[in-house]
Amino acid sequence: MVKVTVCGAAGGIGQPLSLLLKQSDLITHLSLYDIVNTPGVAADLSHINTKSKVTGHVGAAQLEEAIKDSAVVVIPAGVPRKPGMSRDDLFKINAGIVRDLAVAAAKFAPKAFMCIISNPVNSTVPIVTEVFKQFGVYDPKRIFGVTTLDIVRASTFVSEVTGAEASTLRVPVVGGHSGVTILPLLSQVAGTDKLTKEQLEKVTNRIQFGGDEVVKAKDGAGSATLSMAFAGARFALNVLEASVKGTSNIVECTYVHLDADKEGAKDTKTIIGDNVEYFSVPVELGAAGVQKILPIGQISTYEKELFAAAVPELTGNISKGSAFITEGA
């Protein structure tokens, strides 16, 4: 029995993400939770003739049954950006939403792999950590900030300038998930040595601010939903592939607490220092979640400058998320 709960399942991301998860044979029970509309979304998806049973749960009174005993909890709940807003502007509303969902997970599915999509990811992941600590069920190997969309975007944007096939291109993107904290490691990608400095800077900036491109194009109607659903499904299914099926060598860049593999994180810490607790790093997934944090590897002088610019913003975002739970701030 493999139950996956999507919290925020009736939303712009939640619906297509649930559709993609419904296609997987790894899931036996797809549980859809939202504060509105999940009975309809669940009825619709339940007619698809794939393996999983689909249930819909609406409102806080049904959160326990929605989340109970889930192997994976994916959280795309909360408000998206409008033009002119930063992801941090969403903190006021989304921090409380993520906290309440984390409390339910800590009580009713403490062993779940938590996949956090709600923004600002740099801060919402520390919120989940601190809630799990308060309930005595914290395991850093099981809590992930989903940054897969940055990797997906990076592959697309780099392929447009190098001519490589986007679907096979793997561009490592580390750091956090907002503007200058998003750190594409283009120097590690074959073919980028032929790009001019201007081209490199332009594509780096496009990856860092790819979310804004969609927010602007949607013109007040939200942010990335379909590409995020694609990325979120890829990440959640890879977590299941590694943990349930035992497939080895599955690597995703994901935003984790670096305690998830202290030994493996040493390489990253030599670059970012000891004070940064969370970072998106290449992670080998396994039965317990984070199996290994892999080295970030060689980075260029330009990338070192990007790292230096990212750290102050990231540490501020992390403190803000942690303090929301530890100090009620």
**Catalytic sites, residue numbers:** 177
Amino acid type, 308:
A
Q: How distant is the alpha carbon of residue 24 from its chain centre? A: 19
The one segment of 39-47, 113-121, 130-138, 201-209 that binds ligand NAD by CB under 6 A: 113-121
From candidates 18, 118, 123, 223, binder to ligand LMR by CB under 6 A: 223
How many C-beta neighbours within 10 Å does residue 71 have? 21
Backbone angles phi and psi of 179, in degrees to 5: 40, -120
State the Cα angle at 17 between 13 and 23, rounded to 5°: 165
* Closest distance of CB 204 from ligand NAD, Å: 18
Closest Cα partner for 35 from 72, 79, 70, 91?
Answer: 79
* Closest distance of CB 245 from ligand LMR, Å: 29
Q: Is 87 in the site for ligand LMR (CB under 6 A)?
A: yes
Is 9 within 8 Å of 38 (Cβ atoms)? yes
Is 232 within 8 Å of 148 (Cβ atoms)? yes
Q: Is 34 in the site for ligand NAD (CB under 6 A)?
A: yes
d(CA 103, CA 98): 9
Quick note: the x/- pattern for ligand NAD over 65-94, rule CB under 6 A, is -----------xxxxxx--------x---x
Contacted entry of ligand NAD, ligand LMR, none for residue 206, CB cut-off 5 to 8 Å set by kind:
none
- Side-chain-facing half-sphere of 275: CA atoms under 13 Å: 10
CB closer to ligand NAD, 19 vs 195 = 19
Binding-site entries for NAD(+): 8-14, 34, 94, 117-119, 228
Q: Which residues bind ligand NAD (CB under 6 A)?
A: 7-8, 10-14, 33-36, 76-81, 90, 94, 97, 100-101, 117-119, 121, 146, 149, 177, 222-225, 228
Binding-site entries: 8-14, 34, 81, 87, 94, 117-119, 153, 228
